[in-house]
Amino acid sequence: MRLAQHMAIASDKVRAVAIEATEFPELSRRYQVMAVPKIVMNEHVQFEGALPEPQFLDAVVRAASGDGSR
Amino acid sequence: MPILQTKDQEAVRKEFERLTGPVTLVVFSQELVAADLCRQNEHLMKEVAALSDKITVQVLNPQIDRERAEAYGVTDVPLTIVEGARDYGIRFLGIPAGYEFSNLIDAIIATSRGESGLSEATKATLATLPGEVEIKVFSTPT
């Protein structure tokens, strides 16, 4: 969540939402949360686990560009 | 009974010495939807806010404060928005307990200072994003 929230501070185009998975089982099912942390960007870029800043940024750019390939 | 233990309060109070600007924790609660979770979340946010005079808490009900709920894009409760000089788009859906609690504290400090702490290269790339991005981060307390 840290990188996500720091990117939200740096850019007014980025929003960061931390979701407590066990309190929102319906959301967790919808996004197929099997392991945490699970990150979903604009619905189509998804991954599990923490990433270093450059790779996380790369995913944000892909999400912003509408590119869903992993 | 307090949620935060005394040693946690002391640690967070020390972290909050880094706060520079005011922070508002905008808490959306709706007891009819999730009474226990909303009450616990409100309680936690008030305990956190009590650790610095730079933090205030506003508790709103999305059914009553409809305009603000719509402006913040509230779809579920309990939802907490961490707001500094402006709404940076940082939200916590559910109670940020366990590991998420440290992220809440980090979010408060970062929004207070208005500093991302990211590398210059990352900031430069973010400045050229072609569209908006919502990042959902699912986690569990343990």
Q: What does the pLDDT look like over B6-59, one tens digit per residue? A: 999 999 999 999 999 999 999 999 988 889 999 999 999 999 999 999 999 999
- Count of CB pairs separated by less than 8 Å, A with B: 168
The C-alpha atoms of residue A22 and residue B35 are separated, in whole angstroms, by 16
The answer to whether residue A69 is domain-embedded is no
| Beta-carbon contacts of residue A30 (< 8 Å; ≥ 6 apart) | none
The C-alpha atoms of residue B86 and residue B111 are separated, in whole angstroms, by 8
| CATH number of the structural domain spanning residue A53 | 3.40.30.10
> Residue B131: which of A9, A38, A64 has the nearest Cβ?
A64
> Backbone phi, then psi, for A66, in 5-degree steps?
75, 20
The answer to whether residue A24 is domain-embedded is yes
The answer to whether residue A53 is domain-embedded is yes
| CATH number of the structural domain spanning residue B115 | 3.40.30.10
Residue of A nearest to B121 (CA): A54
pLDDT, average across residues B72-81: 96
Query: DSSP assignment, residue A18?
Result: E
pLDDT, average across residues A25-40: 95
Residue of A nearest to B126 (CA): A11
Helix (H, G, I), strand (E, B) or coil at A70: coil
How, if at all, do strands A38-41 and B133-139 pair? antiparallel
Say if residue A37 is preceded by a cis peptide, omega within 30 of 0: yes
Within 8 A of A26 by CB-CB distance, chain B residues are: none
**pLDDT tens, position by position, A6-27:** 999 999 999 999 999 999 999 9
Q: What would the DSSP string read from start to end of chain B? A: --SS-HHHHHHHHHHGGG--S-EEEEEE--HHHHHHHHHHHHHHHHHHHTT-TTEEEEEE-TTTSHHHHHHHT--SSSEEEEESSS--SEEEES---THHHHHHHHHHHHHHHT-----HHHHHHHTT-SS-EEEEEEE---
The pLDDT value recorded for residue B99 is 85
Within 8 A of B34 by CB-CB distance, chain A residues are: 23
The answer to whether residue B61 is domain-embedded is yes
Distance from CA of B25 to the nearest CA of A (A): 14
The C-alpha atoms of residue B37 and residue A62 are separated, in whole angstroms, by 35
Computed over every residue of chain A, the mean pLDDT equals 94
Domain hosting residue A43, numbered range: 2-64
**pLDDT tens, position by position, B103-138:** 999 999 999 999 999 999 999 999 999 999 999 999
Domain hosting residue B10, numbered range: 6-126
The answer to whether residue A70 is domain-embedded is no
The answer to whether residue B73 is domain-embedded is yes
Number of Cβ within 10 Å of residue B77's Cβ equals 24
ipTM of the modeled complex: 0.96
Which segments within A1-70 are labelled E, that is strand?
14-20, 38-41, 45-48
Count the domains in chain B: 1
Quick one: pLDDT band at residue A68, thresholds 50, 70, 90?
low
B126 and A CB contact within 8 Å: yes
The answer to whether residue B21 is domain-embedded is yes
Count the domains in chain A: 1
Mutate to test the interface with A, among B41, B126, B128, B132 (most CBs of A within 10 A): B126
The pLDDT value recorded for residue A3 is 97
